[in-house]
Structure 1
Amino acid sequence: MTTVRPILEDDLQAYVDDELDAGRRAEVEAYLADRPDVARRVAELAAQRADLREAFGPIAEEPVPAELGIARLVADRRKVSAFPRWGSMAAAVAMLIVGAGAGWYGRGQFEPRRPVGVAALAQEASASFVTYASDHSRPVELKAGDSDGLLRWISNRLKRPVTLPDLSASGYRFMGGRVVPTPHGPAAMLMYDDDRGSRLVMLMRPMQERFVPMSDQSADGVSGFAWAQDSMGYSLTGDIAPSVLHPIANEARRQAEKI
């Protein structure tokens, strides 16, 4: 008889760090699917990890400027020091290194933080919704009648095979779509509407994160839910209540899992 190992905190952290093998990852994902509160906490950890990677990744790869090198700092300190006591010099150099290093690696940290991960995707989806959902002349580039051509276009631009979620069971029919630019590369925008003038926008694009549980990203009067699976991010946005949009987003996610 196969014994299922319990999911521990170490497993959740290894899941966020993408250090689990395929079998254990599947067990953790099944565990999270039944525990929304834990899934939200894991999503927050994944977002924090992405924040740190984006904030410090490029900086960590930069060479330390010559003026901040230990040899240069020691030489400068010798020129101005009037106290040839080695203990005092070592302490002063250490303080200089810590202060200068903190200033160098912390530069830009007081600038407004830009959203990353699914939060960034949700913001992009909201912007697309505001821009195109109210357009009654040309909200989409290719209409539903040319869905095959739209799929080829999107798959080619995203370099990933995509499918069109069928939301008709939720009362929304597919209108068409277009490719829109984002700060993270091209994204596919799909639009749906019902018989009462309500429209939904789904935005999808490749992401670094392999899996991020669905989370509520509603803001500024626009409802939205975003998630990532198999390194593809999805965000469904609309001007309906989050409680109404949530089950529709779950259906779109269920269909995307079958790709």
Structure 2
Amino acid sequence: MAVDPVLEADLVSYVDDRLAPLRRIEVEAHLATRPDEAARIMADLRLRDELRLALVAPEAPGSRELATLARRLQSGLGRRRRLAVLRRCAAVGVFVALGWLAHEGTGPLAVRQSIASSAPPPFVGDALAAHQTSLVRSTMESQVETPRYDPAEIRAATAITMPEAPRGWRVRDVQVFPSPFGPSVEIALADRAGASHSLFGIRPGGFEVTKPQTTVSGPLAAAFWQQGPVAYALVGPAAERDALGDAAERLARSLY
């Protein structure tokens, strides 16, 4: 089925939470393949949230002046968003004001810096659990593995775009798991040496664009990243943490 082209008006409506769920998925799929445009929309989403926070937190130090500015900018922003160029100008103005507040250590941006240094996102735990489940399945004769891997079919059924398996790796099994925001996908893989790995994809319920990072949990390591509405994790032995990070970089690039 043909998808209507995504226009600037769709992007504005996406930021304003005024799109139907199906159209939101179409816009997110559009942004997932356009990192520059996705970064622009992410900045708008952040500014929208910071405006809302400034307007509902009058007790914060320095927020009275910021709230006055935010109300004035928010009022004009609704009109300016009809024109993309003016919308960018309004966004820059809010960013400067909120950046000044963050510099004082009391603004929303200061909170985001602490979030950046927190533990891995919840979907990494889901990926590790799915990997361990695939290891259990591989030892059970009654559990038939499904090595047929069709990324197009997966995307049509789950709205998750999965990359091709790394070159030289073999697909052992493909499974769909439930998650809070729809189905997730786990692909059990064997690398060139036969070691067990898995590639996990999930819609975590938020829109981000992040570069691959790695973490270790006991005997396992995971390289995780997010491209638009879909998050990914490549899981394997902890001793291969660096190699997993390199492979995740290649997989992330292959999705653009």
| Structure-1-length-normalised TM-score | 0.49
Q: Which of 1 and 2 has greater Rg?
A: 1
| Structure-2-length-normalised TM-score | 0.49
